[in-house]
């Protein structure tokens, strides 16, 4: 009946109803878990690609100008290795300084009022925001395969769902990916700045998410793809599941992940995957 109503109302995607009663064990979790905390980038959505592309546009233009002025050309920004090492999961200003330090470059912090054209950390942050907006208009953001089904299954199992991201555009990205209605709370760049939270590997963002969802850290599980996320979960007393390929998995295990999987889908009971897993 719900499927028929969704067709009549042209609701997309159609709501999914579990074929069996759900409990956490069917999501690959201990029955003591009450809350799931997900990284946004590369766990729920492909937004990491948009972030890396935007940062590359900003940094490569800066590095080229520095090279023309000094005669020394720093290595350009690598969208995979540099993004993961210096930007992924970090607030913008912190990531900017970390990347520039790796190239032996220092820029002043500047002020929040700095225009996008200023060669300050705040100026670069605004340039990145503009570049990201262009990238989102160009390619959008989509949910990682299996992310929607896992979020739906978690909701049917009575689990609370939160999202962790250093981006100030977390809500917009969840909406673009069609996942916003499946999340009860998120801790993003605005919350991190507003509450003066330390970024991961400090436990602050995970503890803040638990507070917003009204649950003790010991009842939560974090799903993350970065070593800093593993370290933060361990420090917060939160169970952690790492997501990555075989090579990434070895690194995540080394940082203390209790379990590493290739995707959220691989955690689901087979009966919950049948009929497609968007």
Token pair recorded at residue 128: 């990145």
Residue 57 near residue 40, CB atoms below 8 Å: no
Residue 25 near residue 212, CB atoms below 8 Å: no
Task: Given the residues 8, 31, 39, 269, select the one marked as catalytic.
Answer: 39
What are the CA-CA distances from residue 15 to residues 4, 12, 53, 161, 249 (Å)? 10, 8, 33, 17, 33
Match 């991201």 to its residue by tokens.
165
What are the CA-CA distances from residue 267 to residues 26, 40, 147, 205 (Å)? 8, 18, 11, 24
Q: What is the SS3 assignment for 131?
A: helix
Closest CA to 164 of 2, 5, 43: 43
Task: Given the residues 41, 42, 188, 204, select the one marked as catalytic.
Answer: 41
**C-alpha dihedral sign at 60, 61, 66, 67:** positive
101 is a catalytic site residue: no
CB atoms within 10 A of CB 228: 16
Q: List CB contacts of 98: < 8 A, sequence separation 6 or more.
A: 85, 86, 87, 90
Whole-angstrom Cα distance, residue 260 to residue 253?
Answer: 7
269 is a catalytic site residue: no
- β-bridge partners, 259: 241
Radius of gyration of the chain (CA): 20
Name the residues annotated as catalytic.
39, 41
């Amino acid at each position: 009946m719900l499927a028929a109503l969704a067709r009549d109302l042209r609701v997309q995607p159609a709501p999914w109803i579990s074929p069996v009663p759900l409990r956490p064990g069917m999501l690959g979790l201990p029955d003591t878990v009450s809350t799931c905390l997900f990284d946004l980038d590369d766990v729920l959505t492909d937004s990491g690609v948009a972030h890396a592309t935007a940062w590359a546009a900003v940094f490569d233009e800066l590095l080229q100008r520095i090279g023309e002025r000094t005669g020394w050309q720093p290595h350009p920004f690598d969208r995979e290795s540099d993004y993961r090492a210096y930007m992924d999961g970090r607030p913008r200003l912190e990531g900017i300084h970390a990347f520039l330090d790796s190239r032996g470059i220092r820029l002043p912090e500047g002020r929040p009022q700095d225009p996008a054209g200023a060669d300050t950390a705040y100026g670069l942050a605004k340039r990145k925001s503009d570049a990201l907006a262009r990238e989102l208009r160009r390619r959008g953001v989509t949910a990682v395969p299996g992310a929607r089904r896992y979020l739906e299954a978690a909701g049917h199992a009575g689990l609370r769902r939160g999202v962790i991201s250093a981006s100030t555009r977390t809500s917009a990205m969840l909406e673009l990916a069609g996942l916003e209605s499946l999340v009860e709370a998120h801790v993003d760049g605005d919350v991190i700045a507003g509450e003066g939270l330390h970024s991961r590997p400090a436990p602050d963002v995970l503890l803040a998410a638990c507070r917003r969802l009204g649950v003790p850290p010991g009842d939560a599980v974090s799903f993350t793809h970065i070593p800093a996320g593993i370290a933060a979960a361990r420090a917060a007393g939160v169970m952690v599941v790492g997501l990555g390929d075989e090579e990434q998995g070895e690194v995540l295990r080394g940082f203390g992940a209790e379990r590493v999987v290739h995707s959220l889908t691989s955690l689901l009971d087979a009966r919950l995957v049948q009929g497609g897993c968007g």
